[in-house]
Amino acid sequence: MHGSIEEGRSGLLPPGEGEVLRLPAPLPLDCGRTLESVDVAYETYGTLNEDRSNAVLLCHPLTADQFAGRDHPVTGKPGWWSYLIGPGLPLDTDRVFVVCANVLGGCMGSTGPASLDPETGRPYGLGFPVVTISDMVRAQAALLDALGIGRLLAVVGGSMGGMQALAWAADFPERVRNAAILASAARHTPQNIAFHEVGRQAVMADPAWRGGDYAGEEPPKAGLAVARMAAHVTYLSEAALEEKFGRRFQDRASLGYGFDADFQVESYLRHQGSSFTDRFDANSYLYITRAMDYFDLGSGEALSERFSGTKTRFLLASFTSDWLYPTPESRRVVRALHGAGAAVSFVELRNDRGHDAFLIPDPAFEAVLEGFLGTAMREAGV
Amino acid sequence: MHGSIEEGRSGLLPPGEGEVLRLPAPLPLDCGRTLESVDVAYETYGTLNEDRSNAVLLCHPLTADQFAGRDHPVTGKPGWWSYLIGPGLPLDTDRVFVVCANVLGGCMGSTGPASLDPETGRPYGLGFPVVTISDMVRAQAALLDALGIGRLLAVVGGSMGGMQALAWAADFPERVRNAAILASAARHTPQNIAFHEVGRQAVMADPAWRGGDYAGEEPPKAGLAVARMAAHVTYLSEAALEEKFGRRFQDRASLGYGFDADFQVESYLRHQGSSFTDRFDANSYLYITRAMDYFDLGSGEALSERFSGTKTRFLLASFTSDWLYPTPESRRVVRALHGAGAAVSFVELRNDRGHDAFLIPDPAFEAVLEGFLGTAMREAGV
């Protein structure tokens, strides 16, 4: 069977790994339904200070999880932001207490479609309610309540994590002193939706998906791998692909005149697709992409109004070669925040890595984040 | 069974429709194999003049076919360039004789993976040799030989059709007076390859594909539909998607909180995917995308050398919003042609439709094509 399903450890989180908190109260959702029983799996880095003023919530992107600053228990690889989390690093664990929680609907221990539905005693599958970015934020807020953290020093996130950071600032303004939104947007464009829909259809086209009811059976790995491949192309820039792979061959000197992976880029993509299926649940992929597609904080004045009266200090950063959440989407947010009278820093970073730039070491990016968080720490006296 | 397989009408070409010519000699291929028996399905528009000097070869893009100027026998829809082919139109059938042939490896009557392998008496499937753009051109040249056409007034093509037009000018320079290469490139970039590989993996992930051996069975429609969806997103610009669909809902006033097509763009893509499977063969999709990925006429001086001494007059046209074959790819070709001392016109057309712009009526584009072909006709005295 794919993953472990036991009380408080749903999805693919290995037994005995990480922290999981059962929320003390039911969680109401945007769709109108309520989840009676919700687990939130999370990791922390650093120490919460006495007056609980040094907590930073780090929000993860689509296919990452709470293992941002330590080796991943499934893949064994370093945490996805481990180069930014630690003593003396931008998320300086000598000074701040970083909390990172697996999103609602995820598959690394938080309640999601692979969790047991208390009403049926079977995994939810498609019986799981469709959740939104604001629902994810509401679950995180309940986790912070349980940890005794009222106001956050900062909420930080890239891509879908940035959407959560924006939703935090909009939904809980009094709890967010600073918000860093990286390579992100205030809404999903039709092109963003289109690419996600391709991925969902790839999963659903796999007979092993069984209408989402594959618990206890072989999961729809082939469909999920195709979905991952399609998405992965959108994370990379043309320049990055050109530099990493060009038209170079894999394991041969010339064309193979067949359908094996002739080109390095093909081999790379196939590996990205197949390895993904070991650490991600297909139904979670459907639910999380759906949440992102549903995300839309509004346009123009309506977007400004979501932040009216905000005291939060904002950083928005975009990357020149990111064509998935390009700079104009960040500028839209910046304009709306200016309209709301918010304190906003905005920087477009020259970087040819594409959307994934926010996951790759880059001195200029690190300096921006360090500067923003350094000021936040000084102003809060931590 | 999917499509008809009978002598001289392989793939999905309905019985009694269109012209099919059996080549009089075997066709040698770039891979080293030889196809002993090759059919080329084609359509003509206009009349060949007495000195056979008014023939224009139109090369079709990936998923189109020879039905460029007449209603399609499978879909009933107007030909894909019907607004450009006819009396008084840029491809003026009062003056020129247009030939358009289904490419080798295709599924609309030309020999391809759905054709019968004479050695086994069964459809080739993956036993069909991997063909190249130059192989397609060689089959077209043999067709023109059989039709008694030596030198072409022009070869014209967009996207993969433009690759064929370039290969024609490189491989048979003495047979090409003019060549119009639209929204195309002299090589597939790693990003182009990556998107095609996603599509191929989607087809191959479908259990109905059966390793390519699905003749007589239900074809892998689900996988092919996903491949088409993934490709289709790359044919449209962000601006076109924004204008056509935005975040507008389909059949509802608000979010549905489910996995039905909430957004118009989802519904559109699903329709593009499913309707495609009625007119296209999954194995042909693999072979033709492979031919495109293999296409690489070289870089810099090597690319120039492919055209050294050419007398062909060239038109290169790109579209500002085409991110699949963007303007820099056309400029690469223009530079190489200049290096070869060729006569080249180049125009980048302001158009927000994306790659599909060359398939959509647009006065500026039509004027460019009409000007180029008008000069060609005058110079040839037709």
A115: annotated active-site residue: no
Length of chain A: 382
The catalytically annotated residue of B53, B110, B134, B159 is: B159
User: Which of chain A's residues have a Cβ under 8 Å away from the Cβ of B233?
Assistant: 191, 194-195, 198
Report the chain A residue with the minimal C-alpha distance to residue B323: A238
Please give the pLDDT value at position A254.
Answer: 86
Report the chain A residue with the minimal C-alpha distance to residue B261: A197
Q: Decide if pLDDT at B9 tops 70.
A: no
Contact state of A233 with B191 under an 8 Å Cβ cutoff: yes
Task: Count chain A–chain B contacts defined by CB atoms under 8 A.
Answer: 152
pLDDT tens, residue by residue, B56-67: 999 999 999 999
Q: Model confidence at B5, in pLDDT bands (50, 70, 90)?
A: very low
A228 is in an annotated binding site: yes
Which of B197, B252, B325, B353 would you mutate first to test chain A, the one with the most A CBs within 10 A?
A: B197
The catalytically annotated residue of A39, A135, A281, A322 is: A322
Please give the pLDDT value at position A1.
Answer: 33
Could you tell me the CA-to-CA distances from B25 to A236, B114, B128, B137 in Å, in that order? 46, 20, 18, 15
pLDDT tens, residue by residue, B272-324: 999 999 999 999 999 999 999 999 999 999 999 999 999 999 999 999 999 99
Closest Cα of chain B to A265: distance in Å?
6
Contact state of B241 with A190 under an 8 Å Cβ cutoff: yes
Please give the pLDDT value at position A11.
Answer: 85
> How many whole angstroms separate alpha carbon B276 and alpha carbon B14?
16
Chain-centre distance of CA A58, in angstroms? 9
User: Which of chain A's residues have a Cβ under 8 Å away from the Cβ of B247?
Assistant: 187-190, 193, 296
**CA dihedral (A273, A278, A279, A282) positive or negative:** positive
Which of A30, A132, A134, A191 would you mutate first to test chain B, the one with the most B CBs within 10 A?
A: A191
List the single residue in A201, A266, A323 with the smallest CB-CB distance to B193: A266
pLDDT tens, residue by residue, B69-117: 999 999 999 999 999 999 999 999 999 999 999 999 999 999 999 999 9
Q: Supply the ipTM of this predicted assembly.
A: 0.94
Report the chain A residue with the minimal C-alpha distance to residue B238: A191
Length of chain B: 382
Nearest CA among B274, B269, B222 for reference residue A204: B222
Nearest CA among A235, A176, A181 for reference residue A369: A181
A322: annotated active-site residue: yes
Q: Are strands A27-28 and A34-35 parallel, antiparallel or unpaired?
A: antiparallel
Domains and CATH numbers, chain A: 10-191+296-380 (3.40.50.1820), 193-290 (1.10.1740.110)
Please give the pLDDT value at position A145.
Answer: 98
> How many whole angstroms separate alpha carbon B46 and alpha carbon B44?
7
Please give the pLDDT value at position B8.
Answer: 44
pLDDT tens, residue by residue, B168-227: 999 999 999 999 999 999 999 999 999 999 999 999 999 999 999 999 999 999 999 999
B355: annotated active-site residue: yes
User: Which of chain A's residues have a Cβ under 8 Å away from the Cβ of B302?
Assistant: none
Beta bridge partners of A344: A314
Q: Decide if pLDDT at B15 tops 80.
A: yes
pLDDT tens, residue by residue, A287-321: 999 999 999 999 999 999 999 999 999 999 999 99
Phi/psi of residue A22, nearest 5 degrees? -85, 120
Please give the pLDDT value at position A9.
Answer: 54
Which residue positions in chain A have pLDDT lower than 50? Answer: 1-8
